[in-house]
Amino acid sequence: MDLTGLHTLDYLVFFMYLVVVAGYGYWVFRKKSNTSDTASGFFLAEGSLTFWAIGASLIASNISAEHFIGMSGSGFAIGLAISSYEWMAAAALIVVAIFFLPVYLKNKIYTMPQFLRQRYNPVVATTMAIFWLLLYIFVNLTSIIYLGALALEVTAGVNFTVAVVALALFAILITIGGMKVIGYTDVIQVLVLVIGGLITTYLALDLVAKQLGKPDIFGAFSALKTQADSHFHMILKKDNPYYKDLPGLTVIIGAMWINNLNYWGCNQYIIQRALGADLNTARKGILFAAFLKLLVPVIVVIPGIAAFVLHQNGMFQQEMVDAAGVVKPDHAYPVLLNLLPMGLKGVAFAALTAAIVASLAGKANSISTIFTLDIYKLYIKPNASEKHLIRVGRIAVWVSMFIAVIIAPQLKVLEQAYQFIQEYSSFVAPGVFAIFFFGLFWKRASSIAALVTALLTIPLSTALKFIFPEIPFLNRMGIVFLISAALMIGISLVTKDKQHAEKRELEMPPFSLSRSFIVGATLIIGILVALYTAFW
């Protein structure tokens, strides 16, 4: 691939981004330093995040290189249908805000293992805490660093090893300031990635307009729909070559819901942003995140489709293929970035870096929170002071990031990044969601049922994958969830938890909604209905 790298003006723009984020983070840290004196202040920014900071942090933590590179690549290969991961997430966020969040806040839940400990028992909680730590460090944190460094190498010619270390250090700088620094700097990160993403989308459509003789970007969008009609169908039919990735109606009435509800409602890495706020603020923040989710496909999927049409019309014939001459969809976004003019490429490069660093910081903070509050405080030093816990949390950030930096270069075997991450996350999601769903909404759910379900989720998913490889992974996720639900119900009905000192019933809150939330949620659902109707 012909890489032009960054020019002096691009470096200046990028340097300004670094200075603004670091400077603002330091200012936030100094101004709100009183909230860092407690563990809840450091890990959750308790009471100090506004709704727009919560919403921005949710999105900044969610969007990373796998979106800009992987999802854009899926846009090139599959089309708009890949947007279901984003648009159905907006609907799932509304469900989380209405039903999940009030229970967490009413029972003062700070971590997901804490919920499992309170609802089930310490064995279930500790088992899942260890599992989450291993997953977050060895899979999520490592893959974010790897994909991020790879993206910077491809888009700007940055040395891969240098990119790995630089991304890790920048993320650490933000993370050790605590959740309040992460939350407020994420506002800048989201602003940068949205502006940079929209610029890339605009210039991609402008290039289509010039190549195909259209008057403006709206004409270019119409041309995309005409020349790549197969790329503008949200519901894929069985004869579509990518049906196994997005199996028809499953994306709107099937296991896509399990995937999203587990990710947004039962995932420390995500829900942690809302656990330090009051219910009204947290709900507004989640609603804001849902609105931003609607925008993500415009930023990452449309450029991928534009690259596909341009490639079909003779452009990027060498840039879109690897050494063996095979077309690589994940090259789509980097190829477009290399066409940006000086200065704007620096903005786009900053947007990509912002997405990567924000995800790294959020993941590292969640690792630190689970290790410190659910492992160290409970089993290693129960009487540790608040300042000691904060110090341990910062050490956990350094150690986890160091491990990820060492392992990241070993992941060069990855190809289809976004779909790969989605599929192998599906090995875990069904069982975890079943444990949380029944724990939240069924008093009879027992600890034994939760433990058995947790231990069997991965073996069940693995067995189905190898015994029935023809089953789309989203459908497989749905099957595993149904089996997990049957296990939770059956075992709970024939077993009874022994009482233990820490266990108490969850307090169920009222699920009443404010008028403004109802209006916002209705607007989002209306937009989703319109989108799926227009692009069915």
Angle between helices 160-175 and 344-369 (to 10 degrees): 60
What is the pLDDT, as a whole number, of residue 99?
A: 94
User: How many angstroms separate the CA atoms of 517 and 509, rounded?
Assistant: 17
Average pLDDT of every residue of the chain? 85
Question: Does the pLDDT value for residue 69 go beyond 80?
Answer: no
- Which spans in 159-317 are helix H? 160-175, 179-212, 217-227, 250-253, 256-265, 268-271, 279-312
What is the pLDDT, as a whole number, of residue 35?
A: 46
* 397-406 pLDDT per residue, tens: 999 999 999 9
In 388-496, the DSSP E strands lie at none
Least confident of 202-216, 272-286, 333-347, 410-424: 410-424
Q: Are 220 and 214 in contact (CB under 8 A)?
A: yes
What is the pLDDT, as a whole number, of residue 418?
A: 54
301-324: average pLDDT: 83
79-93: average pLDDT: 93
Output phi, psi for 514, to 5 deg. Answer: -75, 160
* pLDDT-above-70 percentage for the chain: 90
More reliable by pLDDT, 372 or 420: 372
What is the pLDDT, as a whole number, of residue 11?
A: 84
Question: Does the pLDDT value for residue 53 go beyond 90?
Answer: no
User: How many angstroms separate the CA atoms of 157 and 325, rounded?
Assistant: 21
pLDDT band at 19 (very low <50, low <70, confident <90, very high): confident
The distance from CA 450 to its chain's CA centroid, rounded to whole angstroms, is 25
CB burial of residue 465 (10 Å; 0-12, 13-18, 19+): middle
pLDDT band at 45 (very low <50, low <70, confident <90, very high): low
**Per-residue buried b or exposed e for 313-335, using 16+ beta carbons within 10 Å of the residue's own CB:** eebbeebbeeeeeeebbbbbbbb
Distances in whole angstroms, Cα of residue 230 to Cα of each of 115, 225, 358: 45, 8, 34
Q: For 138, which DSSP code? A: I
378-389: average pLDDT: 88
* 260-302 pLDDT per residue, tens: 999 999 988 888 888 878 899 999 999 999 999 999 999 999 9
Please report the sign of the dihedral spanned by the C-alpha atoms of residue 319, residue 323, residue 326, residue 328.
negative
More reliable by pLDDT, 416 or 82: 82
What is the pLDDT, as a whole number, of residue 502?
A: 46
Question: Does the pLDDT value for residue 344 go beyond 70?
Answer: yes
What is the pLDDT, as a whole number, of residue 3?
A: 41
Question: Does the pLDDT value for residue 28 go beyond 80?
Answer: no
pLDDT band at 44 (very low <50, low <70, confident <90, very high): low
User: How many angstroms separate the CA atoms of 247 and 472, rounded?
Assistant: 7
Query: In a 3-state reduction of DSSP, which class is residue 315?
Result: coil
Q: Side chain identity at 479, as an amino acid letter?
A: I
227-241: average pLDDT: 90
What is the pLDDT, as a whole number, of residue 312?
A: 87
User: How many angstroms separate the CA atoms of 188 and 195, rounded?
Assistant: 11
Q: Side chain identity at 297, as an amino acid letter?
A: P
Q: For 107, which DSSP code? A: T
515-535: average pLDDT: 95
Domain ranges in the chain are 8-21+49-363, 427-505
pLDDT band at 94 (very low <50, low <70, confident <90, very high): very high
pTM equals 0.87
Question: Does the pLDDT value for residue 420 go beyond 60?
Answer: no
What is the pLDDT, as a whole number, of residue 481?
A: 95
Which of 1-5, 206-210, 343-347 is the most confident on average? 206-210
* 433-480 pLDDT per residue, tens: 999 999 998 989 999 999 999 999 889 998 998 899 888 888 999 999
pLDDT band at 501 (very low <50, low <70, confident <90, very high): very low
Would you say domain 8-21+49-363 falls under CATH 1.20.1730.10? yes
356-364: average pLDDT: 84
More reliable by pLDDT, 122 or 14: 122
What is the pLDDT, as a whole number, of residue 493?
A: 93
